[in-house]
Structure 1
C-alpha cells in the first residue's frame, strides 16, 4: 500500500503469510507499483513474466515460495528497467540463468561514487522503504533504505548452464548470490568490473577453471564463498583476497596457494630438502647406487673364481696387483 508520506511511491508487502495458489494477474494493472514483496508464502506458479509491464518496479521479491519453471522474457521491449532488488531464491526455478532480464536491469548499471555505509540511509529527497534480504549469508531487514542498494539473489533453485557475462555490466551491484544451483562453466572475467560488490556467493555449483585475477580489483568485497565447486589453479593474492579464509575455498581439491595449506610448487613434494643438499655436494643417492652396483658385480666375479675354480694363487696375485697399483 502507499506510504502516507510518499503517496506517489506505492508498495505491496505481503511477505510471511500463507498465500497459495496462482499469483493474480490483476497485479499487472498496478502500473505505479515500486515494491512487490511476496516472500515467505506458498504461491505455486511459473515466473510472472506479465509483471514486465510494471516499468516503475524497483523491488521484486518472490523468495521462499513454490515458483517453478524457466525464467524467460516475454514481449516487453525493456522489461524491469528500474529494478534494483531481484530476489527469487528458495524456489524451484530451472533452466539457464535469466540473462534476457539481467541485461535489461538498467537500474543496476549506474554507479554511486560515494560508496559509504551511509549510502543505504534515507533522506527526505529519496524514495525509502523496508525489505528483508539475505546479506552476506545472514537474513536481515533493512529499514528506511533507499534503492541505490542493488542485489540479485537466485540461490537455492535448479538453474544450470553458464553465468551470463552481462552481469559484469551491473556496476552498482552490491550483492550477488548464485549458490546452491547446478551452474557450470567459469567465472566471467567481466566480474572484475563489479567495483561496488560487497558479497559474492557462488558456492555449491559445478563451476570450474581458475579464479579470475581481475577479482582482486573488488576493493569492497567483504564476503566471498566459492566452496564446493571444481575450481583449480592458484588462488589470486592481493587486495581483499588476502583477508579470506579457508572456508571461502573448501571443497575445491584442485585449488592451491594462500590461505590453503596445499602448495602450488610441485618440486617441494618430490624429495626431502636434505637429499637435495647431498646432491649439491657431489655425493647424492645416485652416486651411492652406482657404487653399490659396481661393488656387487666385482664381488660376484671374485667369488666365482675363488670357490668354483679354487685358484687361490690367482686371488693372491690379483690382490697383490691392486695394492701395487
Structure 2
C-alpha cells in the first residue's frame, strides 16, 4: 500500500487500526489521505512529505470518537518537513503531537501554496501539545478555517495573522498561553488589513489566554458571526467604538 504509484485516494476512517505509520511512503499520485478515528501511535512519517500531490490530509480524531472509544493515545512528535505544494486541507487535531519543547518551524510552510484560491484553505491542529510561538508564516495563507485551540502556544500573536486570512470563517486560538495585546492588523502597501476588513467571520474564539490591553476590533461586517468568545483573558479599558455596529447587528437578529 505504501508503494502504490497510482493510488490517489486512501480512506481508512473509523476502523480499529493500531500501531505506527510506516516511514516508507512512496505514493506520488496520492491526493486524499483520510485515516482519522483510529488508534495510531508513533510519529508522522517524514516520507509522507514526499506526497507532492496531496490535497487533503485528515488525521484529526473527532470528539465523538474520543468519547465512545476512550482512546487516550495518539500520534506524537512534530510536523515533518514536507513538499506539500498542492495541500489545501490540513487536519491533525486531537492527537498528541508536539510537546517536549517542540515548536513548529516556519520554514516547513515554504513549499505550501499560498495562492488565495488553490492554496492552503484549512489548517486545524487543535487538541495537541504544540509549544512556542505561533508561526507568523501562517498569516500568508488565505485560510477559511484556522484552529490551534487547546495547545500550549505562548508569546504574542503575530500581526501577520491578523492582516492575512482575509476570507477566514472560523478563527480559534482558545486555551493556549498567548500574551500581549491582541493584534488588530497592520498597514500593507498603504492599505490597512486586519479584523475590520474581514467579511466572512462566523466564529471568533480567543478565550482562555492571557491577552492584555484593549478588546480587539470587530469586523465592519458581522452579519454572519454566530460565536464570539473572549472570556478568561486580561483585557481592560472601555468598549471600542468598533463594537457598536456589532452590538446593533446582534440585537437585530
Using the size of structure 1 for normalisation, the TM-score is 0.59
The answer to whether the 8 Å contact 1:231/1:255 transfers is: no
Q: 1:72/1:24 Cα in 2 relative to 1: closer, same or farther (>3 Å)?
A: closer
Q: CA deviation at 1:148?
A: 6.9
Using the size of structure 2 for normalisation, the TM-score is 0.75
Are 2:87 and 1:89 aligned?
no
Which residue matches 1:185? 155
Matching of residues 150-189 of structure 1 within 5 Å: 150-171=121-142, 173-189=143-159
Question: Could you list the runs of 5+ residues in structure 2 that have no partner in the other structure?
Answer: 62-72, 186-194, 241-253
Q: 1:42/1:245 Cα in 2 relative to 1: closer, same or farther (>3 Å)?
A: closer
Which residue matches 1:212? 183
Which residue matches 2:27? 30
Which residue matches 2:16? 18
Higher RCO, 1 vs 2 (CA within 8 Å, ≥6 residues apart):
2
Q: CA deviation at 1:15?
A: 0.9
Question: Could you list the runs of 5+ residues in structure 1 that have no partner in the other structure?
Answer: 2-7, 113-146, 260-325
Which residue matches 1:229? 209
Q: Secondary structure at the match of 2:77?
A: strand
Q: CA deviation at 1:98?
A: 4.7
Q: Following the alignment from structure 1 to structure 2, what is the Cα–Cα distance between the partners of residues 86 and 99? A: 15
Are 2:59 and 1:62 aligned?
yes
Which residue matches 1:111? 116
Are 2:245 and 1:248 aligned?
no
Q: CA deviation at 1:103?
A: 3.0
Q: Following the alignment from structure 2 to structure 1, what is the Cα–Cα distance between the partners of residues 228 and 52? A: 41
- Superimposed CA distance per residue, residues 111-156 of structure 1 (whole angstroms, 9 cap, x where no aligned partner): 23xxxxxxxxxxxxxxxxxxxxxxxxxxxxxxxxxx7782011110
Q: Secondary structure at the match of 1:29?
A: coil
Matching of residues 218-297 of structure 1 within 5 Å: 218-239=198-219, 248-258=229-239
Q: Which has the larger radius of gyration?
A: 1
Q: CA deviation at 1:34?
A: 0.4
Q: 1:169/1:220 Cα in 2 relative to 1: closer, same or farther (>3 Å)?
A: same
Q: CA deviation at 1:101?
A: 2.4
Q: Following the alignment from structure 1 to structure 2, what is the Cα–Cα distance between the partners of residues 80 and 237? A: 34
The answer to whether the 8 Å contact 1:58/1:82 transfers is: yes
Pick the aligned partner of 1:80 from 78, 84, 89.
Answer: 84
Q: Secondary structure at the match of 2:107?
A: helix
- Superimposed CA distance per residue, residues 206-243 of structure 1 (whole angstroms, 9 cap, x where no aligned partner): 10111212222222211100000001111133425867
